[in-house]
Structure 1
């Protein structure tokens, strides 16, 4: 049994990021045409595009500010012109900021997390789900985080944004389910990515001891979960928050 996404078009926002680029590669390897979204790192997007094209994949690069609805609609038009209608949306982009305590965190950081976690998802839904409704099939996947369940000190803006995003996805799953559109979230733990493989590890020993599998996940583990949810194999899974954390967090009933 293989994950076959031939004939599908996928959008990955934040596709130049550490996890996003592996998601884009993996979806392309499964046969999907991929829209590689970037905000400012066009050289990295171009590099990823050329890599996918080199082994016969189909992709395009698109720029957008994911916190701005007009920018997302312009991106949609660009994707439709190049690749056709989008069947799979992966909302992966998030604004980066410096974590600190609630008393010291800037109000602007809370706004950036709300805009990039909650409003990005709302704008993407408004842009791409109507076409999915007409076809009566689609996949809408958000990248959440294990932090949403941990609620550790200094995480407040990030957790607030991601927990707000969680609410949007659960409601959206109920609103569009009748159209056979699935809406799910993948929640990575502290994941080893390309950048970290080139550096010395060791500061993560304490973290690994708290993980039942006694190790950290790889970026490919996250991409594999995304590819599964994007496929027909996951056609009866919706409204799920799926930790890919080695058991570090476990949603309970």
Structure 2
């Protein structure tokens, strides 16, 4: 059964990143018009916009700091003034930092992960959910991580931010579900991206030997899961944390 998002508009935060650009292309191929959010990489955003428009889809780029609520409100205003509405939100942006032990990790890194994981989620909900509630339809999809279940050494700031994000999404799913809005999370494993293909680093045996499917997933497989959750095929799924990790992590009942 093909997925058709014609007539829908999707916003992807961090759309110029390794996963973001594949998700944007995938949703566009399914018929969605696209709002490309970026923070600093304007050139990549413009390039991606051209690709999406070549597919016959409407597309707009908007720069914003997703850790700042006024900036997210501006993002909303720009998106709606250009596209009319936003039906699908994919919260993908996250601040990058160097991982180390809790004793060595700078305090600022915990702050950056809280701001880009938890506060981004709150800002997007406050900015976009009221319009979704009025229209009684919407899809909110957060990009989480398998690390939120692993809790391995060195992951502390990232795990803390993503576990906080998980709490926001679970509560939000219960608060706005009655309005026909679904709220879900996709949790990738260590994913093969364009950078891996360029560097020929797709194979990571030490990691893959612990994965039941014995391989790393691809950026397209992550995007496919986002596409499913954005579609009407997932109309009765909300509050879910869905690992796309080849079985590397398995939520328990």
TM-score grouping bracket, smaller chain normalisation:
over 0.9
Q: Distance in 2 between matches of 1:188 and 1:163?
A: 14
User: Where does residue 94 of structure 2 map in the other structure?
Assistant: 94
Preserved contact between residue 5 and residue 32 of structure 2 (Cα < 8 Å) = yes
Asked if 1 retains the 8 angstrom alpha-carbon contact of 2:76 and 2:128, the reply is yes
Find out whether 1:146 has 2:152 as its counterpart: no
**Counterpart residue number, 2:169:** 169
> Which residue pairs with 1:244 in the alignment?
244
The residue aligned with 2:23 is 23
Give the structure 2 partner of residue 128 of structure 1.
Answer: 128
Aligned to 2:66: 66
- After superposition, the C-alpha distances for 1:42-82 in whole angstroms (9 at most, x for unaligned) are 00000000011112122110110000000000011111111
Residue 152 and residue 85 in structure 1: after superposition, are their counterparts in 2 closer, same or farther (change >3 A)?
A: same
State the distance in 2 between where 1:237 and 1:29 align: 23
In the alignment, the residues of structure 1 paired with residue 163 and residue 138 of structure 2 have an alpha-carbon distance, to the nearest angstrom, of: 23
Gaps of 5+ in 1: none
Which residue of the partner structure matches residue 9 of structure 2? 9
CA contact (8 A) 2:211 2:247 kept: yes
1:220 match:
220
Show the counterpart of 2:57.
57
- What's the offset of the Cα at 1:202? 6.8
Q: How does 1:27-38 map to 2 (within 5 A)?
A: 27-38=27-38
8 A Cα contact 2:28 2:55, kept in partner: no
State whether residues 203 and 216 of structure 2, in contact with CA within 8 Å, keep that contact through their aligned partners in structure 1. Answer: no
1:79 aligns with 2:79: yes
How many pairs were matched up? 253
Give secondary structure in 1 for the equivalent of 2:10.
Answer: strand
Kept in 1: contact 2:13–2:36 (CA 8 A): yes
**C-alpha separation between the residues in 2 aligned to 1:161 and 1:148?**
9
Provide the residue aligned with 2:207 in structure 1: 207
Deviating runs (4+, > 2 A) in structure 1?
200-203
**Residue 203 of structure 1: CA displacement?**
6.3
**Cα distance change of structure 1 residues 43 and 202 upon mapping to structure 2, 3 Å threshold:** closer
Deviation at 1:201, TM superposition (A): 2.5
**1:37 counterpart SS class:** strand
Shift of 1:200: 2.5
When the two structures are superposed, what TM-score results if normalisation uses the length of structure 2? 0.99
